[in-house]
Amino acid sequence: MASEAPARWNARNPAVRRIMQEIRELQQEQSTEFIAEAMEDDIFEFAFAVRGPPDTEFEGGIYHGRILLPAEYPFKPPSFLMLTPSGRFQTAVKICLSISSHHPEHWQPSWSVRTALTALIAFMPSPGAGALGSLDYSPEERRQLAAKSRAAAPKVASAARQRVIDDLHARMLASEPAARAAAPAEAPAAALARLRREVEAAHGGGSGGGGEAAAPAAAQAQAAAEEVDAPAQRASDSGPAAREAEEQAAAAAAAGDATAAKQKAAPPAGEQPQQQPLQPQQQQQEEEQEQRQAEQQRQPPAEPRSDLPPAGEPSDQSALRRRAPPAPSSPSAAARPWPPRAPAGSPAAEGGGPELRLRAAQAQAAAASGDRGLTLLAVVLSIAIAALLLRKIAAALGGGSRVDAALLHSP
């Protein structure tokens, strides 16, 4: 059995840490009712052997099986597969129990492999009631299978697992005298009743969210308690006084646990239930939200956009303000800003009404027209100067007469 996590397992993983802790506890606190060991090559798989509960048709039997832990353990329940025929559970099938992967709504992270094996022993005398992986053999057939289970360990395909199973079987046979001499730490009926109380306490007594799934488990627990209590009562009548005192003490302890659980769950009359403290993550989210709201309140209001038309301005004037500037027709026109600005001190510059702004726009358009006229005049003068230059050049070359005639008859 591996007492330290192999190198290929991440020791920081919560599931690995929990499994290694349970392995150490199983080594330090050994039980006479069961033995469980993790596989050397996979610590998420346990091989176990349980002893049949006393005063039942399973008494004296040694039943082997496997426990498969999920990667999210202990937040998700394990799966159970039996290897030894018992007449109660099928072999090589994931059996359905309220502590198995078939009912994750009942599983509690505080439960462990030790808790699961104790519950498995307690569930053996209970009726199958058609659950997945359950059988309802007669008591005589179960006694025959219990005697047969002691002869040899079940056979598996893996040689490494076969060695572990054979070792568990030999250790269970060797510890049988000690198991008979030692009184059981908890009777099967008391263990099953305790498990039922834990499930009901976690899920509101079978009502609400998991009511439909919890009802069969409660019925199985009640039937198992009645079935196991009958032979236990007969044995106590003919047995020593210590056996009777032990049964009474177990019943009193069970009743005391139930009373304490009810008192703890129900608040005193007239007292308001205490508000649960906020989780650290939820409290941090609320603080961040309050901080964002305070920052938004401290920010100044957004300034109005300057490119939008003032209130009450006609739509044609707003289009005039947003239109693109025309191409400059002269250097002086290119230097002017767009849109045209009114001279300082004018009514338009002082923010007059729409009529003043319209007049200012018209004045700017007239100025632009004057600039275009000056440009045209400059072009005409340039052409005239070029013609005079050509005439002088032609006269200097001796063809002035022909040039003059061509110029006079030209349109």
Asked whether the beta carbons of 40 and 2 are under 8 A apart, the reply is: yes
Instruction: Annotate 243-254 with b (16+ C-beta within 10 A) or e (fewer).
Output: eeebbeebeeeb
Query: Measured between alpha carbons, how far is 14 from 5 in angstroms, rounded to an integer?
Result: 12
DSSP state of 29: S
Helices (H), 299-353: 315-322, 331-335
Instruction: Annotate 112-142 with b (16+ C-beta within 10 A) or e (fewer).
Output: bbebbbbbbbbbbbbebeebebbbebeeeeb
Distances (CA, A) of 311 to 93, 314, 358: 81, 9, 16
Q: What residues are paired with 34 via a beta bridge?
A: 50
Q: What strands, in cross-sheet order, belong to the sheet with 79-82? A: 34-38, 45-51, 62-68, 79-82
Of the candidates 83, 96, 190, 360, the residue annotated as catalytic is 96
Q: Which two tokens stand for residue 121?
A: 């022993």
First to last CA, the chain: 120
Query: Measured between alpha carbons, how far is 65 from 38 in angstroms, rounded to an integer?
Result: 12
Phi and psi at residue 345, in whole multiples of 5°? 90, -10
Query: Measured between alpha carbons, how far is 316 from 362 in angstroms, rounded to an integer?
Result: 14
> Of 61, 64, 41, whose CA–CA distance to 52 is shortest?
61
Widest CA span in the chain: 161
> Of 112, 126, 131, 266, whose CA–CA distance to 204 is shortest?
266
Any catalytic annotation for residue 96?
A: yes
Q: Is 82 helix (H, G, I), strand (E, B) or coil?
A: strand
Q: Which residues are catalytic?
A: 96
